[in-house]
Amino acid sequence: MSKVENFLSVEEEQEIVLAIRQAELNTSGEIRVHIEKSTLLSHYNRAQEVFNSLKMFNTQAANAVLIYVAVEDHKFVIYGDKGINDVVSANFWDTTKNIMQEQFKRGDFKQGIIEGVLKAGEELKVHFPWKIDDEDELSNEISKG
């Protein structure tokens, strides 16, 4: 069994999925989490590749965000789609990053991801509030590479 599969228990994964569902009650934006051991690419490029392979561009407002985590590399990337980048400043994700970083430094990866997901939802809410006709456009399940 690879480290990625050991990284989070089934229960912890479910907690993260619940956090995604909770975050998406705030915003029309879609949040996904991808976890893998490591990558040879730059983490930004790999996040972009995962974003595309998960077809996360398939949202009406181009407002999906991927939280990409490379466990053994101790790196993560928050990768938002064009619709988000068009309306926010370059440091938009800094608060979310800082919250995640703090928990990761303590070694609490699950909590870092959960807090990151919830914070991303709050940040997205400002520009992309939840609407009554909202659809769950992208799966809330964790993707593992």
Q: Which part of the chain contacts Ca ion (CB under 5 A), choosing from 35-43, 71-79, 104-112, 133-141?
A: 133-141
Q: Which part of the chain contacts Ca ion (CB under 5 A), choosing from 8-16, 26-34, 79-87, 119-127?
A: 26-34
Q: Backbone phi, then psi, for 139, in 5-degree steps?
A: -55, 145
- 95: which 2 tokens? 């608060």
138 binds Ca ion (CB under 5 A): yes
Decide: helix, strand or coil at residue 49: helix
The residue (of 4 and 61) whose beta carbon lies closer to Ca ion is 61
Find the length of the chain.
Answer: 145
DSSP string, 5-22: HHHS-HHHHHHHHHHHHH
134 binds Ca ion (CB under 5 A): yes
**Bridge partners, residue 79, by sequence:** 66
30 binds Ca ion (CB under 5 A): yes
- Residue 4 Cβ vs Ca ion, minimum distance, rounded to whole Å: 21
Residues lying near Ca ion in the complex (CB under 5 A) are found at: 30, 134, 136, 138, 140
